[in-house]
Chains A and B, each alone.
Chain A
Amino acid sequence: MAEQKAFKTAGLMKDLMAKYYTKGKESREKGIPVAWVTAVSPVEIFYAAGLFPYYPENFGALAAARKVADKLSMVAEARGYAHDLCGYARCGIGDAYADEHPVGEIVKPDLLFCCNTQCGSLPKWFEVASRFYNAPYFLLDSPQIGNEPDKLCEQYFIEQLKELISFLEEVTGRPFDYDRLKEVLHLSNEACRLWNEVLDTAALKPAPFGFFDACFHMAPIVTWRGTQEAVTYYQALKEEVNERIKEGIHAIPDERYKVYFDHIPLWPKLRWFSDIFAAHNALVAVSQYTHSWAYSFDLERPLESLAENYTEEFVNRCFDYRVQLKVNFMKKYGCDGFVLFSNRSCKPNAYGLYDKRNVISSITGLPGVVFEADMSDLRFFSESQIMAKLELFFEQLSSR
């Protein structure tokens, strides 16, 4: 298969991520506290408080992509952390105890902050880490909500943001800067807007950009969201995607179908998957995963707006809401089928997929398949089983 033309912006990404890791080290030297944070959490508060937010999940994904997740995991397993726990957590805990650090050492926290919208693994992992590193831990608790926004949960979230702010004021010894928060929220808005405009180009037929591209380009929206760096990055990416549209460069050579994918990719097999789909002329166009960062904050009501955006995020929603979300994405992007990944690591996204497949098919009439594996750990990867499922799926696609 013809090699796809690489994104120029990829170079920028390399610099940006290198800068991110140096910044972690520099912060420590300058006495700026390093705060561990989670991917779907109001990181804006931390930038506004002048702390350096560090994303251990990103460390897990990196270890997975470099195919060393099992090595780090085994260090944790030797201590009784079972291999069925979330792969990111296993990598993080493993690295804490490990003598060898194949992807560099995880940056040690001065404090830990977890928002449990996403899952129950992060709060437990961070609890373990807070004992290990002997650093204070703050859990922002977010009960699951249904189809509609939930006032009770929003109120709870706001109250906790206030508790968090007092906690950070104590850590930093300075009053919280609400003006700075506005600036940060504005930068988050901008980055989210640009990112989603890029994602939306996957609806064009043929499209210049797809899910696997998004997996590559998503690191800044997670780790730099709330800074000018993220905005600059996505401006550049958007420009490049627009150029590609003009020049007729497509994500895959001969796009005939569009596919919806749920949820996180198999990091160590990203290339393998993207090649298989491309070989079958199917563009994986969209996933709820890469759309997780689509915030729009009201600068006049910062705390309320943070609470609305984060509690109403799909990771914090019930079964039916998530079904509807997937169906809406399939419609918006003109999908011809869907592939759901039952990810052993990520229980909250895996549980329910068997029933969701049936419900989605009956609503949309589209073919769909569920396959089993782990996002980071190749010990749970069976190429033949997954191929068999995908082959069947591709047959259904072509016979539509």
Chain B
Amino acid sequence: MVSGPDGSNSDTHEPPGEMIAVSLWRGQGSSGGLVRYDVPVRDNQTILDIVTHIQRNIDSTLSYRFACRVGMCGSCAMTVNGVPRWTCRTHAGQFTKNGRLTVEPLRNMPIIKDLVADMAPFFDKWQKAEGRFQGKDSRTDDVEPVRPDSPERKTADAGIECINCAICYAACDVVAWNPDYLGPAALNRAWTLMNDIRDTAGGERLRAVSAGDGCHNCHSHQSCMTFCPNDLNPTAAIAGLKRMAVRAVLKGEL
């Protein structure tokens, strides 16, 4: 057994090694600022590991959100060095610049406390975009077959793996400019449902997504697609909705 310089046992205390200077946003609502914490560097350390280290070892009043730690639940997204990231799947080494790192809550949403953004407006917009499946069959009907190789199914497949992390929403400047804009995730969800042949609410949904704060606000600058951790392409989904809306107008259906 090796003793550290302070006589501590090396099994429980690492020798003092390289440190990262982490600036974390601390505060409530709109008032707050960056606070610096020094965190030891570890192998394969994620941003979420760093935040957890601070909460467990330095200041237990720090608030942040996570659940699965494997990129499934979408609850751990934060702004890391100015860009929105899923923190459980982001290695700190990849983002640390000159031993420094900045972690802030996601933008475009109100801050509840510290690193926790209020996701309510984000999810409200899923409802506004009619992001609910509405079927026509009851439980006594047979399951309607959907061919995996049909164009609709393939189009829906391309957008279906959304984990509701709001990274695209935080990256979108149009949301920042028009807080009522439905945003990339809700519109992407609406697009997958418009391509679900079992769904019956297409008409209402198209009206909802092409209204004032809907798909026509999108400037196609593709920040959503650039930052989506699951490689989804909300820009393409929104372009699809725009085309559908134009076609419906030409046919006199909208």
Note whether A and B form a binding pair. Answer: no
A interface with B by C-beta (< 8 Å): none
